[in-house]
Amino acid sequence: MRTWRFLVVLVVVSHLTLPGLWPVAPPPAVRAQAVDVFLNVTGGGSRKLNIAIPEFTVTTGADPAGNGKLLASVAGADLTFSGLFSVVAATGAIPPNNPQALEQSWKEFAAAGAHAGVHGLLALRGERAEVEMRLYDLTAPDHRLIAGKKFELPAGQLRRLGHKVADEVVLQFTGEPGVADTKIAYVVGPVGRKEIVIADYDGAGITPVTRNGSINLMPVWSPDARSLAFTSFKQGYPDLYRVFPFERRPDQTLAAFVGINSSPAFSPDGKGLAMTLSKDGNPEIYVLNLASGTMRRLTRHAGIDTEPTWSPDGRQIAFISDRSGAPHVYMMDDQGTNVRQITSGGFHTQPRWSPRGDTLAYTQRAGAHDIWLVDVDGSNPRRVTSGGDNQGPTWAPSGRHLAFQSNRLGRWQIFAALADGTGAAPITRGGAESTSPSWSPRLP
Amino acid sequence: MLSRCAHVTIASLLVLGVVLAGCAKRPATTAATAPAPTGAAATTPGGGSTGAGPTTMAPSGETSGTGSGTTMTPTTAAPGARPSPAEFVANENLRDVYFDFDKYDIRPPDAKTLDANATWLKSNPGHLVLIEGHCDERGTNEYNLALGERRAKSAMNYLVSQGVQASRITIISYGEERPVCMQKSEECWAKNRRAHFLVKAR
């Protein structure tokens, strides 16, 4: 006889009637139906879908560390963060190979208001770990299975399995994967000694990237999520380098000209790197062809031109120029032609083009700094942060979230929020100053 | 046979509301009166310039880098093109100059300081000089890196106008990364907005 206990937490309760959901269908059709259901449930607004995630069931191997519980917690936190789900949490795992127990628990979760249930099956095989995710429709009378998928990773990357489950659930309901299996690179350390680190998007697993005791700034991910470009004073001057944090491979020097070498931005196809160089007299924007080493100059102006950011299609570059007197956001095509001013008034830096292509984030200084969004045609500027000083926006690969640095709690920390600024929460909590975040693309 | 007990707790998620009302815009702080930067006044289509390797104020013109097509060959500067900043040391005869918030023009009292610095440098021709440009912590890192360079360049241009050979001068911007004063006050910020002078024997 087994006993286990549920602790059900409905983070947000929606009293919804959901007649006739999720008909039996092959996976693609299921997804289309699931999207419809999701939109019906959420109304496309702020209501969320209630999803139950009991502890993962360990099917193979011993789990003295409680990884089944950990992974349910990781995936649950990811789904909460997505802003699309309210997680119905539970304690106690469903025993393996026990359909009656599974059905009984779904019945109870459904009664508590859950619309869907995720059952994770965890196999621990020494060096490897595997999770099978099974997604159930709890609004259907038979609580039918609507999707399933397996993921395998080295045991040392166990938490990623929870992230992958969450991303798959988001994919099933929205048609686009979640962003939980991503990293954030950022800068830590006191004045005069700043090093680059990477962590999971939720702040776990902080890993050093640079250890040179110098000043390292402005990390940005390459589109394949395998490398970072950054500015470092490690050779004395502000030069541009590239590091491969997951490989045994030496750093590359990308630009070490007289003057400033800074503000790297990989083109969306990964073949080019836009940057700021002052070698020709004052800060101008150039694009380095990474295969040939050819450098192409895009701007020619006596003002400061810096901080390039690419449109997702790679055909436009937004940047900062103070040619009008104070820094504002400008745009040009990738040949440097058709320059036009996008923002005006105020003091604007740090433009970052949204992965969806329709919006730019930037930092406005008005005493303190705040993150603003503006449509790419310059219309509808709106502030999305408040409290303390907020800088350095970086988009999640979905465009649904932003991370940024804020000192609203005292020291600089990295925060993440939905793109409209709601739900802002710190993802770093250490004693060190944490600045200049860069959100990675989805990991391969 | 299974026995269960369910405990249902209901909590509300606090959704952080963010006021999206526009915030007051302050007038733009415009930069600089002197010395005016040189360069084209209008933006022209990128003609491209330079390739791999260190350059000194290279004229523009499409040139190819030294990179091969197979593996990415970075544009590496040959050592020796720029003297290492670590080789320069402070000299009591060379005094810092300071700048207004967001500005890089030389103020009259600082011009006197630079006159004295120029006099010493001209009477000590065996020394090279490194001018560091610095900003206070306000502003964003990337922009401050550019502003710090403008300050170093303003100081350099002034020294050159007073007869110091440009070839003796190297500049570097540290942006806001190396403050001398750590408090969050105008008094402290004013000390950090500076050009700092270091020398080394040729």
Task: Answer yes or no: do B142 and A276 touch at CB < 8 A.
Answer: yes
Residue A139, SS3 per DSSP = coil
Residues B119-168 have pLDDT tens digits of 999 999 999 999 999 999 998 999 999 999 999 999 999 999 999 999 99
Tokens standing for residue B130 = 């490194």
State what percent of residues in chain A have pLDDT above 70: 89
| Cross-chain CB nearest to A280 (options B23, B42, B60) | B60
**Residue pairs spanning A and B at CB distance below 8 A:** 288
Beta strands A57-60; A116-125: pairing state: parallel
* Phi, psi (deg, nearest 5) at residue A73: -65, -45
The whole-angstrom separation of Cα B127 and Cα B167 is 11
Place of tokens 């930069």: B31
Which residue did the predictor score with more confidence, A280 or B78? Answer: A280
Closest CA to A74 of A87, A59, A60, A65: A87
Is residue B159 a contact partner of residue B169, using CB atoms and an 8 Å limit?
A: yes
Separation between Cα atoms, residue A245 and residue A152, nearest integer Å: 21
DSSP, res B168 = G
Euclidean distance between CA atoms A341 and A330, whole angstroms: 4
Please write the tens of the pLDDT for every residue from A280-323: 999 999 999 999 999 999 999 999 999 999 999 999 999 999 99
Q: What span, in angstroms and rounded, lies between the C-alpha atoms of A403 and A201?
A: 9
Token couple for A181: 């299996």
Residue A61 CA to residue A41 CA, distance in Å, equals: 39
Tell me if chain B has a CB within 8 Å of the CB of A254.
yes
Tell me, yes or no, if A421 comes closer than 8 A to chain B by beta carbon.
Answer: yes
Contacts of B6 in chain A (CB under 8 A): 5-6, 8, 108, 112
For A27-174, CATH number out of 3.90.1170.50, 3.20.20.220, 3.40.50.300, 3.40.50.10070 equals 3.40.50.10070
Looking at A194-240, list the stretches that DSSP marks H as alpha helix, in order from N- to C-terminal side: none
Taking an 8 Å cut-off on Cβ atoms, the answer to whether B8 and A112 are in contact is: yes
User: Per DSSP, which regions of A314-358 are E strands?
Assistant: 316-321, 328-333, 340-341, 348-353
- Residue among A103, A114, A92, A140 nearest A11 (CA): A114
Alpha-carbon distance B91 to nearest alpha carbon in chain A (angstroms): 20
Partner residue opposite A238 with nearest CB, options B10, B40, B145: B145
CA distance A373 to B18: 13
What are the backbone dihedrals phi and psi of residue A178, each rounded to the nearest 5 degrees, phi first?
-70, -175
- Beta carbons of B160 and B131 less than 8 angstroms apart: no
pLDDT tens track for A18-35: 333 333 333 444 555 565
* Residue A95 in this model has a pLDDT that exceeds 80: yes
State the pairing for strand pair A116-125/A49-55.
Answer: parallel
- In this prediction, residue A47 has a pLDDT band, given cuts at 50, 70 and 90, of confident
Residue with token string 């045994």: A248
- What 8-state DSSP symbol labels residue A413? E
B48 inside 8 A of chain A by CB: yes
Burial group, residue A301, by CB count within 10 angstroms (0-12, 13-18, 19+): buried
Segment A333-343, tens digit of pLDDT: 999 999 999 99
Q: Which residues of B touch A86 (CB under 8 A)?
A: 13
Bridge-based pairing state of the strands A328-333 and A252-255: unpaired
Q: What's the CA gap between A112 and A285, in Å, rounded?
A: 57
pLDDT band per the 50, 70, 90 thresholds, residue A90:
confident
For the cut 80, the answer to whether the pLDDT of residue A124 exceeds it is yes
The strand pairing partners of B198, in sequence order, are B90, B130
Strand-pair partners of A404? A415
Q: Roughly how many angstroms between the first and final C-alpha of chain A, as a whole number?
A: 43
Q: How close A128 comes to chain B (CA, Å)?
A: 33
Whole-number Å distance between alpha carbons of A303 and A281: 10
Confidence band for A150, pLDDT divided at 50, 70 and 90: very high
Q: What is the gyration radius of the CA atoms in chain A, in angstroms?
A: 24
**Measured between alpha carbons, how far apart are the two ends of chain B, in Å?**
90
CB contact under 8 A, B38 and A302: yes
Equal fold, A27-174 vs A183-439? no
Res A92 pLDDT > 90: no
C-alpha A150/C-alpha A167 separation (Å) is: 12
Of B73, B77, B142, the CB nearest to A307: B142
B2: amino acid identity, one letter:
L
Asked if B183 reaches chain A (Cβ–Cβ under 8 Å), the answer is: no
Query: Beta strands of A138-271 (E only): which ranges?
Result: 145-154, 183-188, 195-200, 207-208, 216-221, 228-232, 239-243, 252-255, 261-266
How sure is the predictor about A269, in pLDDT bands with cuts at 50, 70 and 90?
very high
- Predicted local distance difference test score (pLDDT) of residue B63: 35
Burial degree of B185 (CB within 10 A; 0-12, 13-18, 19+)? exposed
Of the residues A241, A300, A422, the best mutation for testing chain B's interface (the one with the most B CB atoms within 10 Å of its CB) is A300
The answer to whether residues B44 and A411 touch, using CB atoms and an 8 Å cutoff, is no
- Reported ipTM: 0.88
Instruction: Report the alpha-carbon distance of residue A388 to residue B184 in Å, rounded.
Output: 14
Distance CA A207, CA A277 (A): 30
- Are the C-beta atoms of A55 and A93 separated by less than 8 Å? yes
pLDDT higher for B63 or B187?
B187
Interface probe for B, chosen from A86, A187, A237 (most Cβ of B below 10 Å), is A237
Q: What is the pLDDT of residue A42?
A: 53
As a whole-number percent, the residues of chain B with pLDDT over 90 amount to 57
What's phi and psi for A439, nearest 5 deg? -85, 130
Cβ-Cβ contacts under 8 Å, B32 against chain A: none
What confidence score (pLDDT) does residue A429 get?
Answer: 87
Q: According to the model, what pLDDT value does residue A225 have?
A: 98
Q: Is there a contact between A140 and A160 (Cβ–Cβ < 8 Å)?
A: no
Q: What is d(CA A284, CA A366) in angstroms, rounded to the nearest whole number?
A: 26
DSSP state of A409: T
Residue A73's CB is within 10 A of a number of other CB atoms, namely 18
Locus of tokens 């496309």: A44
Cα gap A391→A370, rounded to integer Å: 6
Give residue A205's pLDDT.
95
Which helix or strand (DSSP H or E) is residue A110 part of?
Answer: helix A99-111
Q: Name the more confident of A416 and B68.
A: A416
CATH of domain A183-439: 2.120.10.30
Phi, psi of B87 (to 5 degrees): -80, -10
- Say yes or no for a CB contact (<8 Å) between A297 and B173: no
Choose the closest CB to B51 out of A252, A293, A367: A293
- Whole-number mean pLDDT of chain B? 71
Residues of A with Cβ-Cβ distance to B173 under 8 angstroms: 238, 260
Q: Are A305 and A320 in contact (CB under 8 A)?
A: yes
Contacts of B44 in chain A (CB under 8 A): 300, 336
Preceding omega of B35 cis (within 30 degrees of 0): yes
Residue A93 is predicted with a pLDDT of: 85
* Fold (topology level) of B85-201: 60s Ribosomal Protein L30; Chain: A; (3.30.1330)
Contacts of A258 in chain B (CB under 8 A): 54-57, 81-82
Residue B73 with chain A: CB contacts under 8 Å? 293
Q: Is B166's Cβ below 8 Å from some Cβ in A?
A: no
Signed CA dihedral, B183, B186, B188, B190: sign only: positive
What is the tens place of the pLDDT at every residue in B80-89? Answer: 468 999 999 9
Map out the domains of chain B as residue ranges.
85-201
Residues A305-329: b if buried by 16+ CB within 10 A, e if exposed: bbbbbbbeeeebbbbbbbbeebbbb
CB contact under 8 A, A301 and B172: no
For residue B1, give the nearest of A1, A108, A300 by CB distance: A1
Q: Find chain B residues with C-beta within 8 A of A384's C-beta.
A: 18, 20
Residue B108 C-alpha, separation from nearest chain A C-alpha, in angstroms: 23
